[in-house]
């Protein structure tokens, strides 16, 4: 029986959950934690005969011929080792990144999600453009580092605007990798005053504040859609960004999307090239669906627990049966 290779990191509850199901089904797998790589394993790639390329990790070895598919889930190639100084670790991380991602872009088996699609999907601005192409409503948005433009945009939105990050930042501080981020934030009058003085330092993503009835989380798995309502407006911490509230303090309900929205989602996901993704929408008080973004590695385990639905089973089915999705050469 052919195996599934998993490129991920050492601590990840989602991967643990999927592996439990693979074990129950007797499906062989090779988990490669890239935050422990290459110390704990190696890849060996031969471009003249890629089927004989090898993956070896912690005593388990497979050739590409042995694999059914490869699953990429939040891998991290930036970790450091004590034997090297900061420059040495930067060199090591760069070479590891190119080796791993080059390997994943070249292997002749299905890769979920394909590295090219992951790279496309990490940029929020073309996501919004593509969503508009498929007829999905999106918030009014401005990206700028010009204070006059920002203040004019705020005034046009009646000073109801939010700030959100365009990327998940990871920095090295005192030799340690640290993630520094923020939730989507509704800007107060003092925030706007501070923005006016500091926005020249870096471009910022600003959006109109969308009034919500609830949030809608859509889990897309190889053409299958699971949609859930998140009762974010019932929790004081979750009204602007539901992630700010403890997930088990929020209410949830399965949601039936109208066919018009599911068709738009299918077209969007096929063009962006994602086999799997978690899409975030708001539902307005008037019942309109407003697209925010798609995450190529969005979590769903907590939704299974809250709604008692088997998303994991469909995910494993995708890993076992997925046919390669061609990543289209688009200009968006």
For 130-149, how does the pLDDT look when each residue is reduced to its tens digit (9 = 90+)?
Answer: 999 999 999 999 999 999 99
In this prediction the pTM is: 0.91
For 194-237, how does the pLDDT look when each residue is reduced to its tens digit (9 = 90+)?
Answer: 999 999 999 999 999 999 999 999 999 999 999 999 999 999 99
Confirm whether 3-109 and 140-208 share one CATH topology.
no
pLDDT at 170 over 60: no
For 239-276, how does the pLDDT look when each residue is reduced to its tens digit (9 = 90+)?
Answer: 999 999 999 999 999 999 999 999 999 999 999 999 99
Tell me the average pLDDT across 52-77: 89
Q: What pLDDT is attached to residue 83?
A: 87
Confidence of residue 29 (pLDDT cuts 50, 70, 90): very high
**Which residues are bridge partners to 279 per DSSP?**
218, 294
Six-digit token pair at 182? 């923020």
Question: Which residues, including other chains, have CB under 8 Å from residue 212's CB and lie 6 or more apart?
Answer: 232, 233, 239, 282, 283, 284, 285
Q: Topology of domain 119-123+211-321, per CATH?
A: D-amino Acid Aminotransferase; Chain A, domain 1 (3.30.470)
Confidence of residue 35 (pLDDT cuts 50, 70, 90): confident
Q: Is 159 within 8 Å of 151 (Cβ atoms)? A: no
Confidence of residue 52 (pLDDT cuts 50, 70, 90): confident
Confidence of residue 175 (pLDDT cuts 50, 70, 90): low
Class of domain 140-208: alpha beta
Q: What pLDDT is attached to residue 176?
A: 54
**Chain mean pLDDT for the chain:** 90
Residue spans of the domains in the chain: they are 3-109, 119-123+211-321, 140-208
- Of the candidates 12, 11, 14, the residue with the CA atom closest to the CA atom of residue 316: 14
Q: What pLDDT is attached to residue 268?
A: 97
CA 174/CA 98 separation, integer angstroms: 25
Give the pairing of strands 3-8 and 67-72.
parallel
Give the pairing of strands 170-173 and 204-208.
unpaired
Give the percent of the chain with pLDDT over 70. Answer: 93
Identify the CATH number of the domain defined by range 3-109: 3.40.50
């Amino acid at each position: 029986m052919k195996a599934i290779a998993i490129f991920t990191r050492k601590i990840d509850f989602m991967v643990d959950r999927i592996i439990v199901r693979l074990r129950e089904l007797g499906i062989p797998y090779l988990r490669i934690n890239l935050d422990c790589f290459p110390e704990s394993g190696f890849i060996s790639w031969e471009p003249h005969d890629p089927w004989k390329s090898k993956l070896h990790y912690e005593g388990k070895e497979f050739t590409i011929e042995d694999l059914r598919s490869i699953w990429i889930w939040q891998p991290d190639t930036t970790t450091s080792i004590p034997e090297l100084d900061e420059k040495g670790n930067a060199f090591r991380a760069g070479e590891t990144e190119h080796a791993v991602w080059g390997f994943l872009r070249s292997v002749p088996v299905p890769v979920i999600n394909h590295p090219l699609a992951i790279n496309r999907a990490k940029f929020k601005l073309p996501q919004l453009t593509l969503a508009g192409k498929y007829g999905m409503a999106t918030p009014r948005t401005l990206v700028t580092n010009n204070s006059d433009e920002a203040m004019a945009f705020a005034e046009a939105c009646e000073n109801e605007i939010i700030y959100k990050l365009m990327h998940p930042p990871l920095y090295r501080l005192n030799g340690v990798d640290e993630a520094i981020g923020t939730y989507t934030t509704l800007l107060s009058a003092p925030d706007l005053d501070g923005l006016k003085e500091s926005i020249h330092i870096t471009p910022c993503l600003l959006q109109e504040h969308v009034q919500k009835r609830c949030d809608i989380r859509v889990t897309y798995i190889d053409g299958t859609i699971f949609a859930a309502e998140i009762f974010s407006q019932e929790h004081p911490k979750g009204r602007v960004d539901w992630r700010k509230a403890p997930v088990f303090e929020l209410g949830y309900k399965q949601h039936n999307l109208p066919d018009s929205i599911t068709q738009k989602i299918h077209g969007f996901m096929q063009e962006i090239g994602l086999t799997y993704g978690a899409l975030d929408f708001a539902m307005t008080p008037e019942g309109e669906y407003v697209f925010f973004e798609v995450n190529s590695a969005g979590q769903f385990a907590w939704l299974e627990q809250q709604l008692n639905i088997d998303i994991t089973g469909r995910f494993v089915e995708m890993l076992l049966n997925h046919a390669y999705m061609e990543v289209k050469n688009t200009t968006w």
